[in-house]
Amino acid sequence: MNQARSRGAVGPDAADLFWKVLSLTLLLLGAAVMLLPFLWMLLSSFKTPVEIIRTPPTFWPENPTLAAFSTVLTRAPFFTWMRNSLVVAVAVTALVLFTSSLTGYIFAKFDFPGKQALFVLVLVTMMVPFQVVMIPTYLIVARLHLLNTLWALVIPSAVSAFGVYLCKQFIEGIPTDLIEAARIDGAGELRIFLTIIIPLIRPTLAALGIFTFMASWNNYLWPLIAINDEHKMTIPLALAYFTTSHHGARWDLVMAATTLMVIPVIIVFLFFQREFIRGLALTGLKG
Amino acid sequence: MTSWKRWLRPANRSRALFVAGALTPVMLLFFVFFILPITASVVLAFYRYSPLDPDSPFIGVRNFLNLVSDPVFRKAVRNTFYFVLAAVPVNLLITLPIAIGLDGVRRRWLRDSLRAVYFLPTVAPIVAAAVIWAYLYQPVNGLLNAFIGHLGIPRILWLTSAKWAMPSVIVMSLWQDIGYNIVIFLAGLEAIPSVFYEAAKIDGAGRWHLFRNITFPLLSRTSSFVLVMTMISYLQVFAQMQVMTNGGPHDSTRVLALFIYDSAFRYNQMGYASAAAVILLGVTLLLTLLALWLTRRMSQWEY
């Protein structure tokens, strides 16, 4: 498609070449700007405490050391934070995928009294900013005695209006005959859902799953409200806490901690890049 | 058509059981964590409520009146609009050209790699991005001041002067999330059939004409979607302010979301904070309606 477009009927001339070189140069320059903060984070995390406070700063570390990393890993409950984030993100993702596909299936393929009203109710919640619900949610979670537990981070996130909407959209495209045929063959409702519907919407679920996982992994505002025990913190909360409370002046430690938190995310992203970007373009979802 | 009587017939019973069994727990969660909080928030806005105070009287619209005369709230509203009105246009002016540039890159691996690089900051936790930039912005040994020092420009107090703090946070925010809009614009561009361009080129249309008469109108639906979604998400900006400046210096980066958070969880004025949240909700709903109206209007241009 693009080859046809750029070769066109007119053919490449000097102006075309000029634009091409210019735009590629600017794109590469922009890409360098995007990468520079990450590079600076990485380089700084290998510096010694003496080098990191030098003015003006050195760019490449003179005596690269892993001391900052070992300090972070031994003095802070880093692995606990990692485990908390992982437990919460996995639980939330599994729950959201299950509840969204099940509810989406029911809204798409079943008829029952009050269905339209319920669906509208679900959609309305999608538009509401989190700042509007966070105060009552805090009070409710406090009443349930879940503050300062990982449950506080999992249960309110177990359902997603966007997930329900997305699954409904895709399940509506599945022919109802397929479901009817299975019913005539004597398959139970739950079995139809698990063995027919789920496999057919797998790409949608992959996109939804990746986004739910990332949103949970990166969530900051709700953990900030619900958690204040250092050992129950998730990674973003812990990083903010680590930076502001203890180590604001020790940028070598802060950058090492940041590196440890950013690198796994980047690796996961590079691994699932295609699904990620396809899912985003498909849904127009904002993080 | 769908009546209770039909649903209770034996033939439909297993289906009814499935629907009821599956929907009840899910709807319960929606009710407890979405519907109830939204309602409670609106109700709370009319009370003086603090979790530390056993007495929480109904005070009518007093919270709203107090907000309007609260200089910090007014500052927060102004700052939020400053952020949205500055960052949204700049965002679109950066992301659309980058997407068009990427769309023109013919080598697939190069295009995909560049796209991945631009998207990379959006996947990093926003707190991590804020911490990295707080370090870049350090007044004495930050990279940015070292760089402009080389050019002979005196140090700038990026995050610690009232004049520079907001622009600095805006730059960080743009770096952090232009990836989203680039990917969405790119998908919109890839969907435009190349026949249109070929036909126009045969007619001798120039580069500007192609953009003005094909790309721009055919992308208007994507653009209005991107515009409104970006505005809604920027209205709720929170983490970078909380981490990088905590609203300072002199409240110059105190945005609405931070005001609500501090009122509720630092000063325990939850009724007051809810009133501010209701105002945020109102603005968001207005924008959502605008979005619906815009997409409907724009769809006449769709191919």
Residue of A23, A225, A280 with shortest CB distance to B104: A23
Query: Which residue in B has a C-alpha nearest to residue A124's C-alpha?
Result: B35
Q: Determine the distance from the C-alpha atom of residue A215 to the mean position of all C-alpha atoms in its chain, rounded to a whole number.
A: 3
Which residues of chain A have a CB within 8 Å of the CB of B202? 9
DSSP state of B32: I
User: Which pLDDT tens digit goes with each residue over A46-105?
Assistant: 998 888 888 788 889 988 999 999 998 988 898 999 999 999 999 999 999 999 999 999
Which residues of chain A have a CB within 8 Å of the CB of B261? 131, 134, 221, 224-225
Query: Which residue in B has a C-alpha nearest to residue A28's C-alpha?
Result: B114
Residue of A112, A136, A161 with shortest CB distance to B2: A112
The Cα–Cα gap between B126 and A215 comes to 10
Residue B1: predicted pLDDT: 47
The Cα–Cα gap between B78 and B166 comes to 12
Task: Give me the percent of chain B exceeding a pLDDT of 90.
Answer: 60
* pLDDT(A280) > 80: no
Which residues of chain B have a CB within 8 Å of the CB of A6? 104, 106
Same-domain pairing of B32 and B99:
no
Residue B7: predicted pLDDT: 63
User: Which pLDDT tens digit goes with each residue over A23-48?
Assistant: 999 999 999 999 999 999 999 999 98
Subunit contact B101:A23, Cβ cutoff 8 A: yes
Task: Report if residue B218 sits inside a domain.
Answer: yes
Residue of A136, A161, A221 with shortest CB distance to B36: A136
User: Which pLDDT tens digit goes with each residue over B238-260?
Assistant: 999 999 999 989 999 999 999 99
The Cα–Cα gap between A72 and A257 comes to 6
Cis peptide before B249 (omega within 30 of 0): yes
Task: Report if residue B167 sits inside a domain.
Answer: yes
Instruction: Give residue A269's identity as a one-letter amino acid code.
Output: F
pLDDT band at A287 (very low <50, low <70, confident <90, very high): very low
Which residues of chain A have a CB within 8 Å of the CB of B204? 10
SS3 state of residue B14:
helix
Subunit contact B146:A217, Cβ cutoff 8 A: no
Task: Report if residue B58 sits inside a domain.
Answer: no
- Please list the residues that pair with B58 across neighbouring strands: B47
Q: Which of A223, A219, A97 is nearest to A159 (CA)?
A: A97
pLDDT band at A138 (very low <50, low <70, confident <90, very high): very high
* For helices B71-104 and B108-123, angle between their N-to-C axes, nearest 10 degrees: 170
Residue of B18, B116, B133 with shortest CB distance to A189: B18
* pLDDT(A18) > 70: yes
The Cα–Cα gap between B152 and B126 comes to 32
Question: What's the number of domains chain B is made of?
Answer: 2
Residue B242: predicted pLDDT: 94
Same-domain pairing of B26 and B139:
no
Residue A8: predicted pLDDT: 46
DSSP state of A231: G
Between the alpha carbon of residue A97 and those of residues A205, B177, B265, the distances in Å are 7, 25, 32
* pLDDT(A274) > 50: yes
Which residues of chain A have a CB within 8 Å of the CB of B189? none
Subunit contact A158:B29, Cβ cutoff 8 A: yes
The Cα–Cα gap between A247 and A6 comes to 53
Same-domain pairing of B189 and B225:
yes
Same-domain pairing of B86 and B150:
yes
Which residues of chain B have a CB within 8 Å of the CB of A213? none
pLDDT band at A286 (very low <50, low <70, confident <90, very high): very low
SS3 state of residue B144:
helix
Task: Report if residue B49 sits inside a domain.
Answer: no
Residue of A5, A9, A287 with shortest CB distance to B202: A9
How far does the CA of residue A21 sit from the closest CA of chain B (Å)?
10
Same-domain pairing of B25 and B172:
no
Is the distance from CB of A163 to CB of A208 less than 8 angstroms?
Answer: yes
Task: Report if residue B56 sits inside a domain.
Answer: no
DSSP code per residue over B211-225: IIIIIHHHTHHHHHH
Across the A/B interface, how many CB contacts are shorter than 8 Å? 287
Residues whose CB is less than 8 angstroms from the CB of residue A183 and which lie 6 or more positions away in sequence, other chains included = A192
Same-domain pairing of B22 and B92:
no
Q: Which of A21, A97, A129 is nearest to B34 (CA)?
A: A129
Place of tokens 């600095």: B168
The Cα–Cα gap between B132 and B117 comes to 17
Subunit contact A30:B3, Cβ cutoff 8 A: no
Residue A283: predicted pLDDT: 61
ipTM attached to this prediction: 0.88
Q: Looking at per-residue confidence, does A8 or B230 come out higher?
A: B230
Subunit contact B33:A140, Cβ cutoff 8 A: yes
Which residues of chain B have a CB within 8 Å of the CB of A37? 121, 129, 132-133, 136, 175
Same-domain pairing of B40 and B92:
no
- Residues of chain B with confidence (pLDDT) below 70: 1-11, 298-303
Q: Which of B281, B262, B255 is nearest to A224 (CA)?
A: B262
Residue A189: predicted pLDDT: 87
Q: Which of A237, A77, A223 is nearest to A147 (CA)?
A: A223
Same-domain pairing of B216 and B131:
yes
Subunit contact B2:A111, Cβ cutoff 8 A: yes
Same-domain pairing of B144 and B276:
yes
Which residues of chain A have a CB within 8 Å of the CB of B187? 281
Same-domain pairing of B256 and B186:
yes
Residue B56: predicted pLDDT: 84
Instruction: Give residue B26's identity as a one-letter amino acid code.
Output: V
* pLDDT(A122) > 80: yes
Compute chain B's Rg from CA coordinates: 25
- Residue B149 has which token pair? 């020092």
Task: Report if residue B243 sits inside a domain.
Answer: yes
- Residue B207 has which token pair? 């580069």
The Cα–Cα gap between A215 and B64 comes to 33
Mean pLDDT of chain A, nearest integer:
88
Is the distance from CB of A106 to CB of B22 less than 8 angstroms?
Answer: yes
Burial environment of residue A90 by CB neighbours within 10 A (0 to 12, 13 to 18, 19 or more): middle
pLDDT band at A2 (very low <50, low <70, confident <90, very high): very low
Is the distance from CB of B137 to CB of B155 less than 8 angstroms?
Answer: no
How far does the CA of residue A112 sit from the closest CA of chain B (Å)?
6
CATH of the domain at B192: 1.10.3720.10
Task: Report if residue B54 sits inside a domain.
Answer: no
Residues whose CB is less than 8 angstroms from the CB of residue A116 and which lie 6 or more positions away in sequence, other chains included = none
Residue B8: predicted pLDDT: 63
Which residues of chain A have a CB within 8 Å of the CB of B106? 2-3, 6
DSSP code per residue over A202-217: HHHHHHHHHHHHHHHH
How far does the CA of residue B163 sit from the closest CA of chain A (Å)?
23
Same-domain pairing of B162 and B249:
yes
Q: Which of B46, B179, B17, B203 is nearest to B114 (CA)?
A: B179
Residue B6: predicted pLDDT: 67
Task: Give me the percent of chain A exceeding a pLDDT of 70.
Answer: 92
Task: Report if residue B269 sits inside a domain.
Answer: yes
* For helices B126-136 and A14-45, angle between their N-to-C axes, nearest 10 degrees: 90
Q: Which domain holds residue B77?
A: 63-301
Residue of B30, B40, B149 with shortest CB distance to A56: B149
Same-domain pairing of B111 and B138:
yes
